[in-house]
C-alpha cells in the first residue's frame, strides 16, 4: 500500500543550528501537507505544496516539493526553542481520496 516515509525520526540540535526533515512517498502525490505537533498538542497545519518543484517560505521555514512530486522537505534556519515539536508530512491516499496518509514524523528538540 501507499506509504509516506520521513527521516530522521529524531533530531536534536543546539539553538541557532539549522534543521531539515525529509519526506518520501511511494506514489506520486497530488499535494503534500506539513503539520507541526507540539508536545501534548494536536497537529497544526503549516502549509500545502501542490506544484512540482514548488518552494514556499514561512519566515525561517522553507518547504520544497520535489520535481516528481514524490518527495518533500522542510528546512528550518537558525532553530529556536519555540520550534520544538514533531513535524509531520501528509499526502492524499492515491489520487482523489479524502484520506490523508501521515508520515511517522520527525521529533525536533532544541537545546537552548
CA distance 49 to 17: 25
- Applying CB under 8 A, does 45 fall inside the site for other proteins? yes
CA-based nearest residue to 25, from 109, 107, 92: 92
- Applying CB under 8 A, does 66 fall inside the site for other proteins? no
Of the residues 30, 80, 81, 111, which one makes contact with other proteins according to CB under 8 A: 30
- Applying CB under 8 A, does 22 fall inside the site for other proteins? no
**DSSP of 89-103, one letter per residue?**
EEEESSSS-SPEEEP
Of the residues 27, 77, 104, 109, which one makes contact with other proteins according to CB under 8 A: 104
Residue 104 backbone dihedrals phi, psi, to 5 degrees: -75, -15
Site of interaction with other proteins (CB under 8 A): 30-31, 33, 35, 41-45, 48, 50, 88, 90-93, 96-105
Amino acid at each position: 500500500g501507499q506509504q509516506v516515509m520521513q527521516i530522521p525520526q529524531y533530531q536534536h540540535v543546539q539553538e541557532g543550528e539549522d534543521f531539515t526533515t525529509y519526506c518520501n512517498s511511494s506514489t506520486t502525490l497530488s499535494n503534500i501537507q506539513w503539520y507541526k505537533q507540539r508536545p501534548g498538542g494536536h497537529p497544526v497545519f503549516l502549509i500545502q505544496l501542490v506544484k512540482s518543484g514548488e518552494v514556499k517560505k514561512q519566515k525561517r521555514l522553507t518547504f520544497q516539493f520535489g520535481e516528481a512530486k514524490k518527495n518533500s522537505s522542510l528546512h528550518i534556519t537558525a532553530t529556536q526553542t519555540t520550534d520544538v515539536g514533531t513535524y509531520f508530512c501528509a499526502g492524499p491516499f492515491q489520487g482523489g481520496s479524502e484520506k490523508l496518509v501521515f508520515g511517522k514524523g520527525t521529533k525536533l528538540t532544541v537545546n537552548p
